[in-house]
A and B are shown apart, each in its own frame.
Chain A
Amino acid sequence: MKKHISEITDINRLQILMEKFTYATGISTAILDVDGNIQVVSGWQDICTKFHRINPETCKNCLASDTNLANNLIDGKKYNVYNCLNGLVDVAVPIIINREHIANLFVGQFLSQEPDLDYFRKQATKYGFDEQEYLAALSKVPILSDQEVKSKMVFLSELAELICDIGINKLELIELASNFEKEVELRTKDYHDAQIATLNMMQDVENARKEIEASNKNLEKAMLNLERSNRELEQFAYVASHDLQEPLRMISSYTQLLERRYKDKLDNDAKDFMHFAVDGAIRMQRLINDLLEFSRVTTRGKPFTKLDLSTVLGFSISNLQNKIEETNTLITNDELPFALGDEIQISRVFQNLIANAIKFKGAEAPRIHISSQQEGDKVVISVKDNGIGIEQKYFDRIFTIFQRLHSKEEYPGTGIGLAICKRIIERHDGKIWVESELGVGTTFIFTLNK
């Protein structure tokens, strides 16, 4: 941006300098900015200040001179000499800083030869000046030869150049200072921004922490509620199934007692009806028993110990000995590893899976093989049979309590065995799943922790 001369140079010092020049040479000076505003004035002639610049007509001439001088410097002339319309001579030198023409240095208000007194007398008359005073003022105006003007102009031109240099240096300093200030400002702003950002970030972190804390609390509450409702549900299942047994026993026992005591007095219909009543009561008892057992997996489980799975499998097989012999079942097993578990429950899992394999046998005698694999900190146990197999679409359903794939006439049972297996394995932090092909056989696989 273009600077004003007053921003680049010290106008007061320039004023003193120019006054001293006037004192030394008797020549008036002025420095005007490019818009014609006077910045420095020294030793102006009375003829100008008291006459030419007072009268509006002659003042017009003065301004015309200033403008002419200034305009002619725009083209890069080192100086311009102008004979003013009021009969004096002026010289102007441009002050150019950084290729910007910012001001003009004028010297003038001198005469280049002896004045034509007639001309000035006419002027006095024309503009109504007191002739005597006007001529007295004129007499004070110095008369300078071309040579004198030229030598002074060289000095002035160099002075102007010096002022320009100083101005440029100052400008550069100003710019440096301003850049520096800008830099400081920028960095201060950056610093403040960073501070604000840090504060915001800390606030964000704090907010996030609070949110996490709140949601943790909610989660904890939900967990506690869930745990409590789980416990209540288990308690309910246990109590309900336990207390339901008693009345059912009454129904079945007394119906049976009726049949026993009054068999001879009853016709076949009555016997049939009683048979259905007893059968229903007994089946319901079984369901309740199963439900009780199902709920006991978690309510009555024992702490886990290190189990030799081969030994546990042995218990299960001996519990099923009768069934195994009756059905000519062949059971083989690999050496099984140790695993963490509740011995009674794991034995129950083996027992249920083997009993299932025998129950759902194919045309041939059942063959069951139990094998194991180690995967990381897990033991993977497979119980493979050559039974009737299960369609893939039922793979999930078979683990649901009281879900059966066959009628009671085909295969008896309540549909609890696999649900209990799943509940036991889940209590052991393991998984149980099935792989099967219809007509080929089924493999149940479960995992336990080592």
Chain B
Amino acid sequence: MSSVNSGSEAIEILLVEDNLGDARLAVEALKESKLKNNMHVVNDGEEAMDFLYKKGKYSNVPTPDLILLDLNLPKKDGREVLDEIKTSDILKRIPVVILTISKAEEDILQAYNLHANCFITKPLDLDQFMKVVKSIEDFWLTIVKLPHHKEN
């Protein structure tokens, strides 16, 4: 787990990604962002659930404002994680963005059927990737009005 602390009003983002290179890229992209954000990275599905339910070593972590979820994960698959989040009364309101290299129609369909908030295929080009991460941030964290869950 790594985090970027940019102050008290920071936005909390949970990135579930097993590829450390990809995770770091997202972190780097957000570094270039104007928004204050805390990026938390976990590397498999079980850790993601522990983080969300604040279990074990995650007892003191904040509830994230946005989840970036890869589909192909070790231990617990991204689809299972998505399903658990969206069927949990506590977690279901957190927007989940599927960020994966898959372009397959069945993956897209399945993700939306499990109530993913959006599905994004990672672009091959770095500039594109940077733009996508910034777009996610802009849209979900500045444009969209979300319920306040910090009191939950």
The answer to whether the Cβ of B77 comes within 8 Å of any Cβ in the partner chain is no
- Given A252-B124, A256-B126, A256-B127, 20 additional A-B pairs, CB 8 A: A242-B101, A245-B101, A246-B19, A246-B22, A246-B101, A249-B21, A249-B124, A250-B19, A252-B126, A253-B25, A253-B129, A254-B25, A256-B125, A257-B126, A260-B126, A282-B124, A282-B125, A285-B124, A300-B104, A300-B105
The answer to whether the Cβ of B138 comes within 8 Å of any Cβ in the partner chain is no
Q: How many A-B residue pairs have CB under 8 A?
A: 35
Q: Which of B104, B105, B124 has the most CB of A within 10 A?
A: B124
Segment 236-262 of A: residues with Cβ below 8 Å from B: 242, 245-246, 249-250, 252-254, 256-257, 260
Q: How far is the CB of B145 from chain A (nearest CB, A)?
A: 33
Separation of A256 and B124 alpha carbons in the complex (Å): 11
A249 and B104 contact, CB distance less than 8 A:
no
Cβ contacts A to B, 12 pairs, < 8 Å? A242-B101, A246-B22, A249-B101, A250-B19, A252-B126, A253-B25, A253-B126, A254-B21, A256-B125, A256-B126, A289-B124, A300-B104
Q: How far is the CB of A254 from chain B (nearest CB, A)?
A: 7
List the B side residues contacting A257 at CB < 8 Å.
25, 28, 126
The answer to whether the Cβ of B40 comes within 8 Å of any Cβ in the partner chain is no
Q: How far is the CB of A249 from chain B (nearest CB, A)?
A: 6
The answer to whether the Cβ of B122 comes within 8 Å of any Cβ in the partner chain is yes
Separation of A260 and B127 alpha carbons in the complex (Å): 9
Separation of A246 and B124 alpha carbons in the complex (Å): 10
Separation of A260 and B31 alpha carbons in the complex (Å): 13
B22 and A249 contact, CB distance less than 8 A:
yes
Residue of B nearest to A289 (CB): B124
Separation of A393 and B104 alpha carbons in the complex (Å): 37
Separation of A282 and B126 alpha carbons in the complex (Å): 10
Q: Per-residue 0/1 for B84-108: is the Cβ within 8 Å of any A Cβ (1 yes, 0 no)? A: 0000000000000000010011000
List the A side residues contacting B19 at CB < 8 Å.
246, 250
List the A side residues contacting B28 at CB < 8 Å.
257
List the A side residues contacting B126 at CB < 8 Å.
252-253, 256-257, 260
Q: How far is the CB of A431 from chain B (nearest CB, A)?
A: 28
Residue of B nearest to A247 (CB): B21
List the A side residues contacting B105 at CB < 8 Å.
300
Segment 262-279 of A: residues with Cβ below 8 Å from B: none
Separation of A250 and B129 alpha carbons in the complex (Å): 12
- Mostly, the B contact residues are helix
Residue of B nearest to A286 (CB): B124
Q: Per-residue 0/1 for A281-304: is the Cβ within 8 Å of any B Cβ (1 yes, 0 no)? A: 010010001000000000010000
Separation of A374 and B144 alpha carbons in the complex (Å): 54
Segment 1-41 of B: residues with Cβ below 8 Å from A: 19, 21-22, 25, 28
List the A side residues contacting B22 at CB < 8 Å.
246, 249-250
List the B side residues contacting A250 at CB < 8 Å.
19, 21-22
Residue of A nearest to B21 (CB): A250
Separation of A32 and B88 alpha carbons in the complex (Å): 134
Separation of A348 and B69 alpha carbons in the complex (Å): 31
Segment 26-64 of B: residues with Cβ below 8 Å from A: 28
Q: How far is the CB of B79 from chain A (nearest CB, A)?
A: 17
Residue of A nearest to B25 (CB): A253
Separation of A300 and B102 alpha carbons in the complex (Å): 13
Separation of A300 and B108 alpha carbons in the complex (Å): 14
Separation of A253 and B21 alpha carbons in the complex (Å): 9
- Closest 4 interchain pairs by CB? A256-B126, A250-B21, A253-B126, A285-B124
List the B side residues contacting A249 at CB < 8 Å.
21-22, 101, 122, 124
List the B side residues contacting A242 at CB < 8 Å.
101
Separation of A252 and B105 alpha carbons in the complex (Å): 26
Q: How far is the CB of A47 from chain B (nearest CB, A)?
A: 134
Residue of B nearest to A256 (CB): B126
Q: Per-residue 0/1 for A381-420: is the Cβ within 8 Å of any B Cβ (1 yes, 0 no)? A: 0000000000000000000000000000000000000000
Residue of B nearest to A278 (CB): B126
Residue of A nearest to B102 (CB): A242
Residue of A nearest to B127 (CB): A256
Q: How far is the CB of A225 from chain B (nearest CB, A)?
A: 28
Separation of A256 and B129 alpha carbons in the complex (Å): 11
Q: How far is the CB of B141 from chain A (nearest CB, A)?
A: 23
List the A side residues contacting B122 at CB < 8 Å.
249
Separation of A257 and B130 alpha carbons in the complex (Å): 10
Separation of A18 and B25 alpha carbons in the complex (Å): 141
Q: Per-residue 0/1 for B117-134: is the Cβ within 8 Å of any A Cβ (1 yes, 0 no)? A: 000001011110100000
